[in-house]
Amino acid sequence: MADINLIIIGPPGAGKGTQAAFLCREQSIPHISTGDMFRLAVKNATLLGLAAKSYMDRGELVPDEVTIGIVRERLSEKDVAKGFLLDGFPRTAVQAAALEEVLFSLGREITLVINVVVPEAELIRRLTGRLVCRSCGATYHRVFNPSPGGEVCGICRGELYQRSDDSEETAISRLAVYQRQTAPLLDYYAASGKLRNIDGLKPIAEVTAELRTVLAAKGT
């Protein structure tokens, strides 16, 4: 069976993490995020890992050439022999083109790019629904996991509050940045014929079923 090399894309709040976990479990492939790659490279003290760490320690963005090198190192590991799922990389069309070159040098190519699509209004509802107990730190969601105590914590009866990074203003800003960065990337993969849009507004089980259908159509 041919290896299956996937990329998953989706805005904050789209449920991308849930579906990524399903894909990796179903296909028996590793879930590779940008953060995981950086941490592994730093832990192993590779030259590229140390270079990335120097930028991160200064609070700067890691340059594309360093990131691409770390991606090459990670995709050369034995555990990706049957495939992989990339999450959080590439973020730009430039990175996507560089990734293709890396994969070509390894005798591989991207199988599919999964884009989890959710309307902005729903994303904002999801992103702004989190509530945290000021006393014990328990986390709830107004829609998906409400507190049994109603307006107070169901565990300790403490006050529930919304973190500043969960505000509507922050959510709108995060989504605007995502759309600005990702639109060219989606165009890039749409042109290659590898992009598949998945309706993330459906219940989780239905989204998973749609993913199965897409993968089956690809012969995986």
Separation of alpha carbons 109 and 189, rounded Å = 13
Q: Is 39 a catalytic residue?
A: no
Q: Is 82 a catalytic residue?
A: no
- What SS3 state is found at 167? coil
- What SS3 state is found at 142? coil
User: Which of 39, 53, 91, 142 does the annotation list as catalytic?
Assistant: 91
Q: By C-alpha distance, which of 33, 37, 41 is closest to 8?
A: 33
User: Which of 25, 43, 157, 163 does the annotation list as catalytic?
Assistant: 163
Q: Is 163 a catalytic residue?
A: yes
User: Which of 72, 108, 130, 218 does the annotation list as catalytic?
Assistant: 130
User: Which of 16, 74, 126, 196 does the annotation list as catalytic?
Assistant: 16
Got the DSSP string for 175-193? HHHHHHHHHHHHHHHHHHT
User: Which of 72, 108, 125, 174 does the annotation list as catalytic?
Assistant: 174
Q: State how far Cα 57 lies from the chain centre.
A: 23
Which residues are tagged catalytic? 16, 91, 130, 163, 174
